[in-house]
Every structure is written in C-alpha cells, then in structure tokens.
Amino acid sequence: MGINLMVLVPLVGIFAVFYYYITKANKYFHDKPIPSMAAEPLFGSTRRLLMKQTSFHEFIISIYNKYPLVKVFGMIDTMTPVFVVRDPELIKRIGVKDFDHFVNHRPVFGDSEDPDSTSLFGKTLIGLNDQRWRDMRATLSPAFTGSKMRHMFELIVECSTNMAKFYKSELGKKGAVPQEYEMKDVFTRYANDVIATCAFGIKVDSLNDADNDFYTNGKKLMAFNRASVMLRMVGFRVMPKLMSRLNVDLFDSDDKHFFTEIIRDTVRTRNAQGIVRPDIINLLTQARKGALKHQKENNEREEVKGFATVEESEVGRAPNSKGMHMTELEMVAQCFIFFLAGFDTVSTCLTFLTHELTVNRDVQDKLYEEILETNKSLGGAHLTYDAVQGMRYMDMVISEALRMWAPGPALDRLCVRDYVVDDGERLKFTIDKGTVVFIPVAGIHHDPQYYPNPSKFDPERFNEENREKIVPNTYLPFGIGPRNCIGSRFALMEVKAIIYYMLLEFSFERTPNTQVPLRMGNGFPGMRTEKGVFVEFRPRK
C-alpha cells in the first residue's frame, strides 16, 4: 500500500500541474466586458475544428455569426486567448493605425528570434518579427512592384499557353469523348510550374512529366495531414518554447535540402556565367546587394490595379539603401514561402473560381466575351500585362471568387504590448501583451450586412458603381496593413493569365461528379473540398 502511494502521489502531482498548464488560460476572458466562447481542457474553444467535425472556413463563419451584435468577442485556441474582432473600424485600428501594437504574426512554426535556429518557416517574411521583419519587408518590397511583375509576366504566359496546349492535345487524342478533370490537381500542376520558373529559375512541365521531382517534393511538402507533421503542429501549439529549443522544424530535412540545393546551384551557375533572368532569385540576389530601389510606377500612365490588390505601406517603402544582411538560409526561406503560397494558395483560388464559372454559366459566357474582345485587340498575339490589367470583368469575377472563397479564412496578429480598446461609448478593455487577435475574414465576407445574399456568386458587386459602396475594411482576401500579402499582384496576374487562356480554348462544363453546392472538407489547415472539384474542359468550336 505504501509503495502504491509513493507512486500515486507524484503521478497525481504531475497530472495536477499538467492540468493547470493546459487550462490556465480558459478563464482569461471572465473579467473582460466582452462575451466569450466556452473552453475545455487542451481544446479550448476549437474542439470541433481539431476533431475534424468542421472545416476552417465554416468554423470561422460560425463563430463570427455566434455574436452578431458585438464588436469583439473572446475564444481560447487550444491554450491561447484570442480576441476575435468583428468591427471594421477596430480592424483598421489594429491592422493599420495602431499597427505597432500588433506588428507580429502569432508564432506558430519555429523561433525567428534565434539566429542559430535552422527553422525555415521562422526565417520567412511571414515568420520574422519586429525590426528583422521590417528590414526584410523593405528589402523585398521593391521586387513586387508592378514594373517588376510586368517583366515576370512573360514567364507566366509561357506556363499558361503550355497548359492550354496540353489539354487541347489531350482532348484531341480522345476525340469527342467528354473528359473530366479534378481542378485542384490541374491547377496545382500549373502553379507548380509557374513558381518553379518564377521563383526558382528552373523549367518543369508537370503535365507531360507528371512525377517530376519538383512537383513530387512540393506535394510532399504540402501534405500537412501527415501524422508526423500534425504532431509537430500540436507540439508548437502546446509547447512552443520546448519545440524551439529542440530546433524542431515544421518541414522535413529532406524537403528543405531539395529546395536549398536548387537555389544554391542556380545562384552558383548564374554568378559563374553572368546569367540574368527576370525571376525571384534574381530579385533576391539584387536585394541582398541593396540594388533594388522603390521606383515610381509607370510615369506615362497610371497602372490599372485589380480591386483585390493591396497597397504597400510605408514600412515596405522605407529606404534600405545598403540592403539587409540576408543569410543564405533566409534567402532560401523567402523562396520557400513563395513556393508554399504559389503552390497552394493560387491553386486553391483557381479551383474555387473554376467551380463558380462552371455552375454560373452566365458569368462564364460574359467573361468569355471579354476574353474574345481582348484577344481580338491583341491581334491574336500573346496576352500582355497591360491587356490583362485592363480586363474589368475578369477583375470583377476574381474579386468575387476571393470574397466567397478567401484562401485565408482568418488573419492573426500578436499583441506585442498592452492595447486599450475604447470605443468612446460603453466598451473599454485591454488586449494584453502576448494574446492574439483574429480577424475573421470568411465571416466578414459572408455577412449580409456587407454583402447581400452572400452565398450567391455575383461579380457585379465589384462593378464601377457598386465597389464604391463596399464598406472599408470588409474586403480582406490579401490581408490588411503593413503585414498584408506582398505577392498580391503576382497572384492575381497568375490567376488571370491561366483563366484567359483556358477559357479561350475551352468551356467549363458540369459533370456527374460536379458537387453543387460544394461541401468543404473538415479539419485544419487549408481550403479543401469534401470530394474534389470536377469539371469538363469542352473544346470550343
């Protein structure tokens, strides 16, 4: 009996300490004058999401709708207190006006503060913090201006025309037999080829060479549902400091090694042979030397920007004449994050966009008419940067797709010093240092207060007249403030180019496997559908 007690007492003590550790944040909001979601040990308020009973997209919409009359409410994300901000004016204050209080993202996958850390994600523009982030943003920002995108557009057009030719040839071999394709697979291959040529400086053909190394390594990298990756993600949420001390990275060393060697070889070859190519590696090389400067956009005419394009803030435009000391690992990390964004985010946008064009035939037909007019104005020549920027209806369609299916259903910011919220009426409380703010993008985009009949795909919301009526800070597909997406121009021109060339050659048709309405796949992370998005490419006569 004594021996059993000697074993039992320490076990009870360990369990008590562990229980306190995983529940200590659950009462955080009890003394705040805002409502908060119920919390339970370890899961916090996110059991449905973590147990794969709902999708991230639907989870964000459901919690947003839970408190329709409040400006902000609380929830516990596993063990972290999170303020969910619903009010557009408060979103602007947090994301823009009082940005210095919320300068960082929530630390998720590695410690960006440790210079000796080999964590790749922690050294990306998304993972960096404070002054290091400011320096990197100012260094990279000139690489993503309209003038730089103009030079890179030819590479994107080459990938787009290759894809259209491939499916035209494939369907020619099959005669009149209808052929359906799964859109996520189709556009992941396209996005893979674009990011390979534009970011890594190599040419791959993921349609004719379906199992090329670049594509297979990319698929492996993005397989976040693997057990080993899921365990690491949980570890970073529950024991972030320990995971950082152990130098654990989200990505496998083999995956990192593959992409690192590509970049090293490319830079080595270019330096030795004096090769200059209009791609990200070239721009990063210039940035390391301080040779990139912000320039005024096209002096002869003001550039036409897509509605969803975000503007660079003063942080990104800050002079960085000497260039920051960017280590080789940091340079690799920036290419790495461009790859992740290009491989998944762009392909996700295209997947949902193609579905909406397929089930909304009137929209597809109207867009096709604009594409025909543009093609005629070009005399059948290749699409140009200026021509695609001038396609108004194309921009309306893509803007609406990004509203309905924002690739990032929520934004996060970490509070780096205490911040007092005071609306001058009845609401006054403090967002404490170390807590997190969520901006529920999917919820806002589906709020009928801002977008009537939000489940209807209606590009006319973004015509010249209606776009002026959109409430500021309620359209956030690329984020808000200085921490917005640096690559919005790149992503939009990539999406527009492939839709132009595919609709020029094919109509998008329903098949028996086209799911209407779409149902989302449960779990986190990513925007996935339950059964895939199936569409027939029917050649135009």
The pLDDT assigned to 509 comes to 97
Is 53's pLDDT higher than 50?
yes
CA dihedral 33, 38, 41, 42 (to 10 degrees): -90
Name the least confident of 104-118, 227-241, 291-305, 476-490: 291-305
| The pLDDT of residue 7 is above 70 | no
What whole-number distance in Å separates Cα of residue 214 and Cα of residue 211? 8
Phi and psi torsions of 205, nearest 5°? -130, 95
Banded model confidence at residue 17, pLDDT cuts 50, 70, 90: low
Q: How many CB atoms lie within 10 A of CB 118?
A: 14
Residue with tokens 């979601």: 37
Closest to 364 measured CA to CA, from 338, 328, 400, 414? 400
CATH classification at residue 378: 1.10.630.10
Residues contributing to the annotated binding site for heme:
485
In this prediction, residue 227 carries a pLDDT of 59
Whether residue 386 has pLDDT greater than 70: yes
321 pLDDT tier (thresholds 50, 70, 90) = very low
pLDDT (0 to 100) of residue 8: 74
The answer, yes or no, to whether residue 162 has pLDDT greater than 80, is yes
| Contact of 501 with 164, CB cutoff 8 Å | yes
pLDDT at 463 over 80: yes
Judge contact between 364 and 508, C-beta under 8 A: yes
Q: What is the pLDDT of residue 299?
A: 43
**Does residue 340 register a pLDDT over 90?**
no
Q: What is the pLDDT of residue 112?
A: 54
Task: To the nearest 10°, report the CA torsion of 49, 55, 57, 59.
Answer: -40
Instruction: Report the chain's mean pLDDT, rounded to a whole number.
Output: 86
24, amino acid identity: K
Which has the higher per-residue pLDDT, 288 or 313?
A: 313
**pLDDT tens per residue, range 76-92:** 998 889 999 999 999 99
Nearest to 38 by CA among 75, 1, 70, 78: 75
Domain that holds residue 316: 5-539
The predicted structure's pLDDT at residue 144: 84
Tokens representing residue 202 in the block:
């190599």
**Which residue blocks in 360-434 are alpha helix, DSSP H?**
361-377, 385-389, 392-404
pLDDT digits (tens, 9 = 90+) for 489-501: 999 999 999 999 9
Computed on alpha carbons and rounded to an integer, the radius of gyration of the chain in Å comes to 24
- pLDDT, residue 145, reads 83
pLDDT tens digit string along 396-408? 999 999 999 998 9
Residue positions in the annotated binding site? 485
The total domain count for the chain is 1
